[in-house]
A and B are shown apart, each in its own frame.
Chain A
Amino acid sequence: MTITEKILAHHAGKDSVVPGELIMAKLDVVLANDITAPLGIEEFRKAGAKKVFDKDKIVLVADHFTPNKDIKSAEQVKYMRDFAREQEITHFYDVGQMGIEHALLPEQGLVLPGDAILGADSHTCTYGAVGAFSTGSGSTDFASAMITGEAWFKVPESMKFVFNGKLNKWVGGKDLILYIIGDIGVDGALYRAMEFAGSAISSLSMDGRLTMCNMAIEAGGKSGIVPPDDITLEYVKPRAKREFKIYASDTDAKYCDIRDYDASKIEPQVAFPFKPENTKGISEVGNVNIDQSVIGSCTNGRMEDLRIAAGILKGKKVHPYVRLIVLPGTQTIYLQALREGLIEIFVEAGGVVSTPTCGPCLGGHMGVLANGERSISTTNRNFRGRMGHIDSEVYLSGPAIAAASAVLGRIASPEEIGK
């Protein structure tokens, strides 16, 4: 069996499962945010439920339109907050404690190896990076899971992506996952579990792995996963407040597809509008001027991302025609960036630093684009109108390209700075 099949079998109380099999699985974590929770809470009430199955296993994070961007958003968050208080939800994160959910949960040790996790947010697939089965759902599945602590799943086929070779300078997890999506397309892993392996993954940091699993959904994947190793254990051990279980794929595990990539041949990637599959290597981008650069989000708002960006921006100035917006993923990351002097570097360069929020990624607030404007962004989606006006454009990249582009005013590699 693959690691995904083993985790699902365990949570279904079975010795083994096969792809296509329908199972009822017990859940370790059930998650929602300020956009998806209100609909789910309505469904919870509609079903006549009085109590959640376990107040310690539900996580509610107010991260999308917070700090409240308008009255309607404030009402949505209040609705979720009132529910959290009524149900005495242990892990409810409000402004001040909250971070972007998929940066926050791993950081706080709420998601652990071997877990089965359901979240009413498509990027819930992020937690595969710690070796969990984790997938996104809608609000009704979230409501049902809050009541029963279970969800039904069709066991997905697994697809394996093997990266061997040394990563080039400025290439990170974002570039690898964009490269995959460029290769297989936005539905190339539809309904499947995406398993990442190979020497380049073994040496990839946790932050890089979280970025990769985060965008499994952008290839249509049900989940992404990196089998746990020493790097995983070093990350989760000091954070875990409960037991967890390490699984690995068997050597004879069955995959519907195995793809081998030479990591040393991959250059920094940029996804052109309006699909994450429209990828190009940075050398093929050409002259694309930008109005905004966004560094942050559940994809790339972690310490490593901020350090890379600050390393490029130190002593430089943001191009006069560009607005640089930096969003640390959580309060802990914010504080760490402050202590390391990164915030100072961003501000001195002429960038702004925001409180953690999903804001600009989905055109909510804190960096909405006007008609005809263009943003380079370390976020995960470049759909039409995603960051604002329907005729604005989003180009996706890792933090190195986004930082260099902010300085040069066009999409460019850090190698071009100072030339």
Chain B
Amino acid sequence: MKLTGKAWKFGDDVNTDEIIPARYLNVSDAFELAAHCMEDIDPDFMKKISKGDIIVADKNFGCGSSREHAPLAIKTAGISCVIAKSFARIFYRNSINIGLPILECAEAASKISEGDQIEIDLSSGTIINLTKKETYKSHPFPEFMQKIISAGGLMNYVTQRD
């Protein structure tokens, strides 16, 4: 699966309260959640991004609460992938489970600048910076994880498989 979009940069320890503030958790509707994606860290985020864009962050992205609403808001907002130096573990698991591709790659996280055009090949784990003409390597997703992502999440994958 190939993903292409513009990079939006964030720092260390972006927490799930910033990704989707708890005051909006009185609903589970993905589109209502997405309307407030990243609101407490960048109030204009939803106005700036285009479908397919990519979030690039430093260490421990998605720390804090276990709310699955966080990766769900990011995915529904149209973000195609999150690249970070490292992820908080519950966020990592939740992202795969709902079908949001996320890649750990310290080199990409430090070399990509905001606005760079990025292309990602999930099957090989290759991240190409089209603006800077650089290539970074992340671990490729194993086949079953690629299938979970393309099915749109774990539950879809499990039901399709049966």
Task: Please determine whether A140 and B60 come into contact, CB atoms closer than 8 angstroms.
Answer: no
Task: Please determine whether B89 and A222 come into contact, CB atoms closer than 8 angstroms.
Answer: yes
Report the nearest A residue to B98, measured CB to CB. A140
Task: Please determine whether A186 and B60 come into contact, CB atoms closer than 8 angstroms.
Answer: yes
Task: Please determine whether B26 and A76 come into contact, CB atoms closer than 8 angstroms.
Answer: yes
Knowing A138-B93, A220-B89, say if A39 contacts B69 (CB, 8 Å): yes
Task: Please determine whether B89 and A190 come into contact, CB atoms closer than 8 angstroms.
Answer: yes
CA distance A115 to B19 in the complex (A): 32
Contact among B25, B66, B155 for A121, CB-based, below 8 A: B66
Which residues in window 48-67 of B have CB below 8 A to A?
59-60, 63-67
Residues of A close to B90: CB separation below 8 A? 122, 136-138, 217
Task: Please determine whether A137 and B93 come into contact, CB atoms closer than 8 angstroms.
Answer: yes
Chain B contact residues (Cβ within 8 angstroms of A): what range? 35 or more
Knowing A72-B26, A144-B155, say if A136 contacts B66 (CB, 8 Å): yes
Within 8 Å of chain B (Cβ to Cβ): is A407?
Answer: no
CA distance A136 to B67 in the complex (A): 10
Task: Please determine whether A140 and B17 come into contact, CB atoms closer than 8 angstroms.
Answer: no
Within 8 Å of chain B (Cβ to Cβ): is A43?
Answer: yes
Task: Please determine whether B89 and A140 come into contact, CB atoms closer than 8 angstroms.
Answer: no
CA distance A72 to B65 in the complex (A): 20
Residues of A close to B22: CB separation below 8 A? 35, 362-364, 386
Task: Please determine whether B155 and A143 come into contact, CB atoms closer than 8 angstroms.
Answer: yes
Within 8 Å of chain B (Cβ to Cβ): is A187?
Answer: yes
Report the nearest B residue to A72, measured CB to CB. B26
Task: Please determine whether A384 and B154 come into contact, CB atoms closer than 8 angstroms.
Answer: no
Task: Please determine whether B27 and A76 come into contact, CB atoms closer than 8 angstroms.
Answer: yes
Report the nearest B residue to A277, measured CB to CB. B13
CA distance A120 to B155 in the complex (A): 16
Residues of A close to B159: CB separation below 8 A? 46-48
Task: Please determine whether B25 and A385 come into contact, CB atoms closer than 8 angstroms.
Answer: no
CA distance A39 to B60 in the complex (A): 24
Within 8 Å of chain B (Cβ to Cβ): is A395?
Answer: no
**B107 CB, min distance to chain A CBs, angstroms:** 19
**A66 CB, min distance to chain B CBs, angstroms:** 11
Residues of B close to A191: CB separation below 8 A? 89
Chain A contact residues (Cβ within 8 angstroms of B): what range? 35 or more
Knowing A362-B65, A364-B22, say if A76 contacts B28 (CB, 8 Å): yes
Task: Please determine whether B153 and A138 come into contact, CB atoms closer than 8 angstroms.
Answer: no
Within 8 Å of chain B (Cβ to Cβ): is A42?
Answer: yes
Which residues in window 95-134 of B have CB below 8 A to A?
97-98
Task: Please determine whether A187 and B68 come into contact, CB atoms closer than 8 angstroms.
Answer: no
CA distance A384 to B40 in the complex (A): 8
Provide the main secondary structure of the chain A interface: loop
Task: Please determine whether B64 and A36 come into contact, CB atoms closer than 8 angstroms.
Answer: no
**A380 CB, min distance to chain B CBs, angstroms:** 9
Within 8 Å of chain A (Cβ to Cβ): is B1?
Answer: no
Within 8 Å of chain B (Cβ to Cβ): is A70?
Answer: yes
Q: Which of B64, B66, B72, B89 has the most CB of A within 10 A?
A: B66
**A148 CB, min distance to chain B CBs, angstroms:** 10
Residues of B close to A139: CB separation below 8 A? 68, 94
Task: Please determine whether B155 and A187 come into contact, CB atoms closer than 8 angstroms.
Answer: no
Within 8 Å of chain B (Cβ to Cβ): is A409?
Answer: no
Task: Please determine whether A140 and B153 come into contact, CB atoms closer than 8 angstroms.
Answer: yes
CA distance A48 to B156 in the complex (A): 10
Interface mask (A50-72 → B, CB under 8 Å = 1, otherwise 0): 00000000000000110001101
Task: Please determine whether B15 and A46 come into contact, CB atoms closer than 8 angstroms.
Answer: no
Residues of B close to A141: CB separation below 8 A? 93-94, 97
Within 8 Å of chain B (Cβ to Cβ): is A331?
Answer: no
**B33 CB, min distance to chain A CBs, angstroms:** 10
Residues of B close to A363: CB separation below 8 A? 17, 21-23
Contact among B21, B26, B64, B97 for A140, CB-based, below 8 A: B97
Contact among A122, A144, A220, A385 for B18, CB-based, below 8 A: A385
Task: Please determine whether A35 and B17 come into contact, CB atoms closer than 8 angstroms.
Answer: no
Within 8 Å of chain A (Cβ to Cβ): is B88?
Answer: yes
Task: Please determine whether A187 and B63 come into contact, CB atoms closer than 8 angstroms.
Answer: yes
Within 8 Å of chain B (Cβ to Cβ): is A81?
Answer: no
Report the nearest A residue to B32, measured CB to CB. A72
- Jot down 19 A-B pairs with beta carbons below 8 A, ordered by A: A38-B28, A39-B72, A43-B155, A46-B155, A47-B155, A76-B27, A136-B90, A137-B94, A138-B66, A138-B94, A138-B98, A141-B94, A144-B154, A187-B60, A190-B60, A220-B88, A362-B22, A363-B17, A385-B18
Residues of B at under 8 Å CB distance from A? 13, 15, 17-18, 21-23, 25-28, 40-41, 59-60, 63-69, 71-72, 86, 88-90, 93-94, 97-98, 153-156, 158-159
13 further interface pairs, Cβ-Cβ under 8 Å (given A47-B159, A122-B64, A385-B18):
A35-B25, A36-B67, A64-B25, A65-B25, A73-B26, A121-B66, A137-B90, A138-B93, A144-B158, A363-B22, A383-B15, A383-B18, A384-B41
